[in-house]
Chain A
Amino acid sequence: MSANAALIKEFETLLGKENVLTSETDLHSYSYDAAVLDSKTPALVLRPTNSEALGKAVALCNENELKITVRGAGTNLSGGTIPHPGGVVILTNALNKILEINEQDLYARVQPGVVTAQFAAEVASRGLFYPPDPGSQAVSTLGGNVAENAGGLRGLKYGVTKDYVMGVDFFDVDGQLVKSGSRTVKCVTGYNLTGLMVASEGTLGVFESITLKLIPPVPAAKSMMAVFPSMNAAADTVAAIIAAKIVPATLELMDNFTIRTVENFRKAGLPVDAEALLLIEVDGHPAQVAEEAEKVEAICKANKATSVTVAQDAAQRDKVWQARRDALPALAKLRPTCVLEDATVPRSKIPAMIDALGAISKKYDLTIGTFGHAGDGNLHPTILTDKRDTHEWERVEKAIDEIFEKALGLGGTLSGEHGIGMAKSKYLAKETSKATLEYSRKMKSVLDPKGILNPGKIIGW
């Protein structure tokens, strides 16, 4: 059933007229997200401004069998926020209050529409630290981060979003508030519904509020850039650093193509002949940082690094990270369409995966730049193409299939941090099992009997 005039009136009474969007232009502007997938126009866009209205709107959608896609900033890279055609988009960006920052018990409670970077800054201003830092943090929302289990550059040492979610309160399809988790460090009350909600991509409930763990800030950090003549040498270095029982906060990798592209873009003096670059940051107590930085430098050199530059001040540190921040923008400027994947492999398999990407790029005659989080095996092979070139696009699709096949073959996973969404649901059983898919579908069918919650995502149709 689609949204008729009487129902629209009902939503307007509930949410206020200005929070029910029905114009063609408004609907079209919520038909896509950041994934390179076809857009799908919703019939209605709702923007609740308080949680009570959110719960009622969900219930009203369920009564009328309207399919819901909850959307924060729409930065999703796997199509998780592309709506069901003719469905409803529920925007969370008016639910953007930080409800509590508890400095004694080190947690915070937020509404789902709070922007990640703004939250992190507010937490920092209270002398605390919220580590997850997805690339889109300047705009992405915490609700979206939890729904996708977003990662970031600090994943290796500090973990990803799931490691900071202590609880999620959410509405079920009937608009009833389900509470999960707690404000305590330990909690084994009932099923781990919090865990179920993380990475559920809006298919099992609609988030009302989230409780997040905070940690003390890190007093010191040191960054360095190491240059390698081969990808193998860089990968050996990664393994050797971990084997030496050092866990850097960040351990990033760039391949030769990405290095050259970034250098062309910024002219910051990057070594264009290098086959690989590692950008490393160790952090912690100043004495520990000094010791670990020295050890890491020695390990890099012992593993054939041709040079290691340790940042001496904030400006040099920023230069190291600017190179990493430039990777995507620099690559994105080369061709009109930029497909950013997040195939992830055990870190020992990085050279094998890089080799495979080289072979795939050759086989399908495509340009692929690779950078990513070497420390946790989360790579971002970035295919540069033009979606309008149908022949090339066919090759891109085949290449993507092969990238995931390879990642799974190496004992890896389909997604390190972008989620499954619509883009990768077809591969799901391949990584898990037929039984996993069936179990998931059974669970979904009970919790959401009318199938209104973000249909088509993760487990397919």
Chain B
Amino acid sequence: MAEIKKLVTMLKELDDQLVNCMKCGMCQAVCPIFKRTGREADVTRGKLALVEGLAGEILKDADGVNEALNRCLLCGTCQANCPSGVQVVDIFLKARAIMTGYFGLSPAKKLIFRRLLAHPGLFNLLTGMASKFQGMFIKPADQIIGSSCARFNAPVVGDRHFKGLAQKPLRKIVSSLDEPAGKSGLRVAFFPGCVVDKMYPDVGTASLKALRHHGVGVFLPSGQACCGIPALSSGDRATFESLVRQNLAKFRAGQFDYLLTPCATCTSTIKELWPTMYKGADADVQALKELAEKTMDISQFLVDVIGVDVQAASSKAPKVTYHDPCHLKNSLGVTAQPRKVLKANPAYQFVEMAEAGVCCGCGGSFNINHYEMSKAIGTRKAENVIASGADVAATSCPACMMQLTDMLSRQGKGVRVKHVIECYAEMISSAD
């Protein structure tokens, strides 16, 4: 088969990275999927061996290898704990791109990524329309949490408990901003990300409120595109590159000290994947590198730059716990700052939950393709949240918020899900 030869040739390019895995198997201790199944093909060492086997023509079942590669949350926990420093996420993203090049993108993904995601205007228009009609298809599941579930047996949605699309997306509340630096002397660019824009606009307004409170000028260009991670993790590099290009054009137009996002996934994508995975003009790559250096999670900015500090909380205050998003903890090593931001609001008592740093099981499209596994991992997370006694589960990633909402809503204990910045902004008076 001529075609499989081509796949093999492309996979061989990964050889220099694959060979670094010494097969010690320590990834078994931390992989959330392996913990559920105990199958070697589900843990990093096994997947790397499979890609190696395919590249070395020991294996023939490219479908099977592709399937194994997709049974991964890309949470990066294995990479963060790998004794040999194998760049697992990088290898998996490249391998998925190669596989997608070989197998082609599924028709549904092609439609979503190339027709929708790559055209932010159309994407906004459609989700905007959908937000108006969704009441016909979904019913409330938990009044306290504000989650919903499908009225009918709808594909993709399944029996998920989810936060519906916002009636008014962030871009309709604040279409664009171009403020000068405030009393802090700082001016930041703000990248809310798709999920915040379309599902959690309150996270966006809370972020802007906090920045204004600290005298930080905001540059928020309209028409921002998705950060590209859904396309990239499905191996669609063309869409990824188109999205990066669109965003770069928007942010190049402004002067700012930092680029902030309230989304752990967007932060790590912009910081780590934009400069390394984008294959365009040198000047673009250089600009992406500079942008990446300025990019920061919003809690990290508040603590490390603004100097927000811990306040003593009343013992009667409601309890809040924190779930570490993989993209902040494993990719960027940011764990202390979001906790400090939560402790900065005396209206909450902070409690640590067990296994706070373990993945919630969302993993982007993993949640769609492997919902049962995602649910099993997420249920454990929800149980840990509940065991901590928290009234609020806070996190720094809107995708984790979706998963936590689904999992906690099912438990029916009335634990709310909030973004760290929402908890923080609650103490800022609205006159601010």
Verify B85–A329 contact, CB threshold 8 A: yes
Question: Whole-angstrom distance between the alpha carbons of A21 and B19 in the complex?
Answer: 26
Which A residues touch B65, using CB under 8 A?
Answer: 25
Binds A, one of B39-47, B277-285, B305-313, B344-352: B39-47
Q: How far is the CA of A352 from the CA of B28 in the complex (A)?
A: 38
B19 touches A336 (CB 8 A): yes
Residues of A within 8 A of B46 (CB): 29
Shortest Cβ gap from B239 to chain A (Å):
28
Roughly how many angstroms separate A23 CA and B85 CA in the complex, as a whole number?
30
B19 x A33 contact (CB < 8 A): no
Scoring A residues 29 to 44 as 1 if CB is less than 8 Å from chain B, else 0, what string do you get? Answer: 1111110100101000
Please count how many residues in chain A sit with their CB below 8 Å of the partner chain's CB atoms: 37
B25 near A139 with CB under 8 A, answer yes
Most B CB contacts (10 A, CB to CB) among A28, A33, A36, A333 go to A28
Flag if B59 contacts A33 (CB, 8 Å): no
Complex: chain A residue closest to B38, CB-CB: A93
* A contact residues around B39 at 8 Å (CB): 21, 26, 29
Shortest Cβ gap from B206 to chain A (Å): 36
Contact assessment for A34 and B61 in the assembled complex, using a CB-CB cutoff below 8 Å: no
Q: Counting CB contacts under 8 A, is B174 at the interface?
A: no
Whole-angstrom distance between the alpha carbons of A386 and B140 in the complex? Answer: 59
Quick one: CB contact mask for B14-36 with A, threshold 8 Å, 1 for yes? 00100110111110110000000
B26 contacts A23, C-beta separation under 8 Å: no
| Residues of B in contact with A, size category | 20 to 34
Specify which chain A residues have a CB less than 8 angstroms from the CB of B16 in the assembled complex: 336
**CB of A37, distance to nearest CB on chain B (Å):** 10
Assess the B84–A337 pair: CB atoms within 8 A.
no
Check if A332 is an interface residue, CB within 8 A of chain B.
yes
Known A25-B41, A333-B85, A388-B19; contact A74-B49, beta-carbon cutoff 8 A: no
Residues of B within 8 A of A386 (CB): 19
CB neighbours (8 Å) of A329 from chain B are 83-85
Give A332 to B84 CA distance when docked, in angstroms: 5
Cβ distance A43 to chain B, nearest Cβ, rounded Å: 15
Could you tell me the distance between the alpha carbons of A338 and B24 in the complex, rounded to whole angstroms?
10
Tell me whether A256 is interfacial, beta carbon within 8 Å.
no
Other-chain residue from B25, B59, B64 in contact with A34 (beta carbon distance below 8 A): B25
Other-chain residue from B20, B22, B64, B83 in contact with A25 (beta carbon distance below 8 A): B64
With A25-B68, A26-B39 known as contacts, the answer to whether A73 contacts B25 (CB < 8 A) is yes
B residues 46-76 touching A (CB-CB < 8 Å): 46, 49-50, 53, 58-61, 64-65, 67-68
Instruction: Judge whether A34 and B24 touch: CB under 8 Å.
Output: yes
CB distance from A58 to the nearest CB of B (A): 20
Q: Does A24 lie within 8 Å of B59, measured CB to CB? A: yes
Do B19 and A25 touch (CB < 8 A)? Answer: no
> What chain B residues lie within 8 Å of A387 (beta carbons)?
19
- With CB as the reference atom, state the residue of chain A lying closest to B66: A25
Of B19, B25, B59, B61, which is within 8 A of A136 by CB?
Answer: B25
Q: A25-B64, A139-B29 are in contact. Are A30 and B83 (CB under 8 A)?
A: no
Closest to B67 in A: A25
Q: Chain A residues near B28 (CB, 8 Å)?
A: 73, 139
Query: Sorted from nearest, which 5 A-B pairs have the closest CB atoms?
Result: A25-B64, A329-B83, A29-B46, A29-B40, A138-B29
Q: Which residues of A are interface residues toward B (Cβ below 8 A)?
A: 21, 23-26, 28-34, 36, 39, 41, 47, 73-75, 91, 93-94, 115, 117, 136, 138-139, 328-329, 332-333, 336-338, 386-388
Query: Interface residues, chain B, CB within 8 Å of chain A?
Result: 16, 19-20, 22-26, 28-29, 38-41, 46, 49-50, 53, 58-61, 64-65, 67-68, 83-85
8 new A-B contacts, CB < 8 A, other than A25-B61, A75-B25, are A28-B50, A29-B40, A32-B23, A33-B23, A39-B49, A329-B83, A337-B19, A338-B22
